[in-house]
Amino acid sequence: MKILKAVFKVLLGLSLGLAIAEVGFRVRDDGAFPHLNFYVADDKQGVRLEPNAEMKLRVGDNPITTVRTNSRGYRGADWPAPAPGELLVVGDSQVFGLGVEDGETFSVKLGEALKVPVLNLGVPTWGPGEYSTAVEEVLAERKPAAVIYVLNLSNDLFEADRANATRHKVWDGWAVRAETAPKEVMNFPFRKALMSRSHLVFGARKLMHVASTADDGFASEGTWRDVVSASDSMKAQAADEPTRKFLEARARLDAQLKTISSRLEESLENKVYDPDVAEELNRIARPGGDAQDIFEEGDAEGGRSVNTTVMHLITAAMGESKNEAFLEKLAEEKDDKDLKALLVERKKLREEVRALKLEAAVAHEVPLDHVLLRTRKACEAAGARLIVVGLPLDVMVSADEWKKYGARPIDLAPTAALREGLMRRIEAVGAEAVDPLDALAKAEPGAFLSRDLHMSPKGHAALALALAEIVKAGPKKTLLALPAGRTWPPTEDEWKATGECTVKGSSAAGCVTKLLREWLWVDCGDEAHPVTSLTPTAGGHGDVWAVRDEGHGKLLIPILEGDAARVQFDWKKTSRELQLDFPKGGKLTMAFAAPKPVTPAPVWWSPGNPNDPLSDSTCPEGYRLGGALRRCAPACDERTPCKSGHCEPWPTGDFCASP
């Protein structure tokens, strides 16, 4: 009995001691942690935030804030019932609002300015792929007026083709980069609570942690190559030979251009970058895990340094043609023969790229294009505007922001071309592009947190006001803005899932026809019975795509109410007109007219031309050579009567004469 009492006293004393120590450490930390500690693993998104969670957060030496999640695992209070005019905002830690209170995020401020609900779908660690998935999930149940899609230039350009599931893992509630996650953990009761919520355990682990001396990031975070690389859609997977050859040639030139960019990176590192920026290293994860993303502070949720990110952005920007003069001037000033030679070689390769031709043009895409197109289609189906914000780094907004990092300023003028290019790409996919750099610059000093790249309450307020004006102004016309009642052309997968439609005379003409929304697809002919030409002669709204390929005549044309479209299909001996009529308030009729014999136009040669036909055999079938101007013309016989009504005697026989 005495032994049990002694053990009880020891355990009680130990418990009291640990409780006192926990309180002491909690007081020391002001109850805050340096990173979010309520992540949960998710197969689709890599990580999500735990629903109905709350914690205190200190970002660097900035004031402590309280962050809360709702029942959906997003920041703030539970969402209200769907309402007219509501908005969705999606992004990463900038949208989430690391370093500001729940009510200070620009989502909340935007809602206050417009007096409409604004749902904050920001989750730290997410990238463009995860943004699009989150938008699709919410659009399945709500119909917002607009989706505000925030691209964070500090990392999103690198992550467009890198799923978060490959970049981050959950370790006891903390989100850590994949390379630093442990291979396995030892489970025991209350492990997560102790390892993520106990300040005593956090303090003890931090004391044992060996701080990292490198700041150049991990392979999973991506590099400048991810910004300039072509997407998987550019791989030579096309079914038709011309397109396949085009893609193969384009891929070969892209690979050579990437090699040039790698050599440029090495050449430029000591000329335009801070010499203290180390060459990127791929470190090997320790078997037991590296807790630097849990304990170390200051680089945006444990990410690499601003210097390193800037290095990659500048390298990517050097691929923009607008910076060609900048590089040439630099090479001249430094008298760098190697750099000059690289620029000459790159210019030659670019000329080869421009010289590539394909009858059916294939767009050169980067990974971001695919993600934005996916989101644009989801928004279009839900009737929502898509507004894409290119959020700049703090040091892009003001050079004074370098001071807080204790770093030597880097000239970021070349990245202006990268930002402009991003705006063009956003508009090219049919979204509205917003560059908030000027709005944030007007909020300086103080638009960003101390020693951190996240926006301050002042920065969030400035961005909210700028976005409020854009939303109130209504949709602006983009490069590919759709007129009312129009949809984007169906994808290949959509066509595959669509059966044939009825077009009178199409079977007799040897054509396959499909109709999806307002778009009609027609494919006529083959190598045995090739289409020699197809010519749209009426209708189409300027959106007709017509091409011949290996005997096939392929047509994509929109048909809207009130249209009367016509397309001429020619084979070697016959011609058929495709007639599409959709009268106002009437029924759409589609038919191929009866076939007509093809009568080629007369061919003329001038005397002395080496290409003059020397005999009747060089003329088209049914034609003969004759006349002073050596003209191939239809012969006058019983089979081919003269349409002009008379014949003239020419040296080699009777020919139809021009009226």
β partners of residue 385? 146
**C-alpha torsion 82→84→85→88, nearest 10:** 20
* C-beta of residue 35 within 8 angstroms of C-beta of residue 293: yes
Positions in the chain whose pLDDT score sits under 70: 1-2, 4-15, 17-19, 21-22, 25, 201, 204, 207-251, 253-255, 257-258, 260-262, 264-326, 350, 353-367, 414, 477-484, 599-659
Q: Which of 459, 493, 342 is nearest to 389 (CA)?
A: 459
DSSP annotation of 468 reads H
Alpha carbon distance 502, 199 (integer Å):
72
Q: Decide if domain 492-597 falls under CATH 2.60.40.
A: yes
* C-beta of residue 110 within 8 angstroms of C-beta of residue 464: yes
Q: Is 217 left (phi over 0), alpha (psi -120 to 50) or beta?
A: left
DSSP annotation of 635 reads B
* C-beta of residue 75 within 8 angstroms of C-beta of residue 120: yes
Q: Which helix (H) or strand (E) holds 508?
A: helix 506-509
**Superfamily (CATH) of domain 65-158+368-473:** SGNH hydrolase (3.40.50.1110)
If DSSP codes are grouped into helix, strand and coil, which group holds residue 436?
coil
* C-beta of residue 449 within 8 angstroms of C-beta of residue 440: no
Burial pattern 210-237, b for ≥16 Cβ within 10 A else e, equals: eeeeebbbbbbbbbbebbbbbbebbeee
Q: Which regions of 37-78 does DSSP assign to beta strands (E)? A: 39-42, 46-49, 54-57, 65-68
- Longest CA–CA span in the chain (Å) reads 138
Q: Give me the pLDDT at residue 360, please.
A: 38
Could you tell me the pTM of the whole model? 0.62
Q: Give me the pLDDT at residue 582, please.
A: 92
Q: Which two tokens stand for residue 659?
A: 């009226």
452 exposed, middle or buried (CB, 10 Å; 0-12, 13-18, 19+)?
buried
Q: Which two tokens stand for residue 75?
A: 């920041």
Alpha carbon distance 258, 228 (integer Å):
8
* C-beta of residue 127 within 8 angstroms of C-beta of residue 155: yes
* C-beta of residue 412 within 8 angstroms of C-beta of residue 310: yes
In one-letter notation, the amino acid at residue 608 is G
If DSSP codes are grouped into helix, strand and coil, which group holds residue 582?
strand
Pairing of strands 118-122, 87-91: parallel
Q: For the residues of 94-129, what is the DSSP string, one character each? A: HHHTTTS-GGGSHHHHHHHHHTS-EEEEE-TT--HH
* C-beta of residue 110 within 8 angstroms of C-beta of residue 87: yes
Q: Give me the pLDDT at residue 462, please.
A: 95
Measured at the CA of 148, the angle between CA 146 and CA 149, to 5 degrees, comes to 135
Q: Give me the pLDDT at residue 551, please.
A: 84
